[in-house]
Structure 1
Amino acid sequence: MTEAEILICPACDAANRVPRARLIDAPRCGKCKVALFGGKPLALDARRFDRLIRTGSLPVLVDFWAEWCGPCKAMAPTFAAAARDLEPGFRLVKIDTEAEQALAHRYAIRSIPTLMVLADGREVARQSGMMDRASLVRWARMAAAN
């Protein structure tokens, strides 16, 4: 691992090099000055998602969901709470499979909610269905460590 992480700004998509030891110091974007972590998942489109996984260096925990999906809606507060537990070691994102059908197809999403951990731009773990907060946090950390 490097001494610094590359964090993609949630507001302007600028790449920011942040020393790993400073991740807990509430880093801000060097370009737009927005906080790089907000304690909540980011809702991304395919273009922003691709930039994040191509350029950013943190593991990414993705929730593939849809507005019409009852279990997805039930999972949303748990996923949001997990962001507070996992940041700044992870970037948590939500992908609406109805709005981003090509992205859902690329990752062969067959059921929702589907959770996925990506590291270095590659899928390292996948889990379909709901999880409680503690199980989700433990699963994501174990997946990223492998």
Structure 2
Amino acid sequence: MPVQRKIICPHCDAINKVPGDRPAQKASCGRCHQKLFSGGPVELEGPRFHKHLANSDVPLIVDFWAPWCGPCRSMAPTFDRAAQMLEPHARFVNVDANAALANEFGVQGIPALFAFQGGKVAFRHSGIADLGMLRGWVDRLAASSSGPHARA
């Protein structure tokens, strides 16, 4: 039996076990039947964020941002494009910087980007990021994974 990956549904937050030999890009949620990857960032706050962080075998690339922040707005198309190109190798997440999560992770300026793997911070960056940096993070996270987690 192939190894299974845990992928959290961005719609209903159900924990799905997807066989490692099955392409995650085409997988649907066992509870709500929607696609597990939609090609764009997911908005997560509070308990939902923590559920994804604690239970997903897919790395999270998180953008702490605010709608009033000019640099955040200018980086948004790049973050959206990265999600389109790099899912399902990583889940791209938007978090409102006004939330308690920003304090929890020590965000002092926005935009602030974090890469999480296995529930822990792997990389962090303050300021605008380009597509190359985001791709590099995802590539390094995939390379540091073993077995089916490196392939999505």
TM-score (norm 2): 0.88
Whole-Å separation in 2 of the counterparts to 1:48 and 1:91: 14
Pairing partner for 1:140 from 130, 138, 141? 138
The equivalent of 2:114 in structure 1 is 116
Whole-Å separation in 2 of the counterparts to 1:16 and 1:68: 35
The equivalent of 2:6 in structure 1 is 6
Whole-Å separation in 1 of the counterparts to 2:21 and 2:71: 37
Cα offset for 1:23? Answer: 2.5
Cα offset for 1:25? Answer: 5.1
Residue type of the partner of 2:108? R
Aligned length: 143
Residue type of the partner of 2:36? L
Q: Describe how 1:92-131 pairs up with structure 2 within 5 A.
A: 92-98=92-98, 100=99, 102-131=100-129
Q: Is the 8 A contact 1:117 1:123 kept in 2?
A: yes
Whole-Å separation in 2 of the counterparts to 1:92 and 1:75: 13
Q: Describe how 1:1-146 pairs up with structure 2 within 5 A.
A: 3-24=3-24, 26-98=26-98, 100=99, 102-143=100-141, 145-146=143-144
Q: Name the stretch that deviates more: 23-32 or 123-132.
A: 23-32
Give the match's secondary structure for 1:111. Answer: coil
Q: Is the 8 A contact 1:125 1:143 kept in 2?
A: no
Give the match's secondary structure for 2:38. Answer: coil
Cα offset for 1:136? Answer: 1.9
Q: Is the 8 A contact 2:24 2:88 kept in 1?
A: yes
In structure 2, the gaps of 5 or more residues are: 145-152
Cα offset for 1:145? Answer: 3.6
The CA deviation string for residues 41-82 of structure 1, in whole angstroms up to 9 with x for no partner, is 001111110000111111110000011110000010100100
CA 1:88–1:76: 2 relative to 1, 3 Å: same
TM-score (norm 1): 0.91
The equivalent of 2:149 in structure 1 is none
Identity %: 41
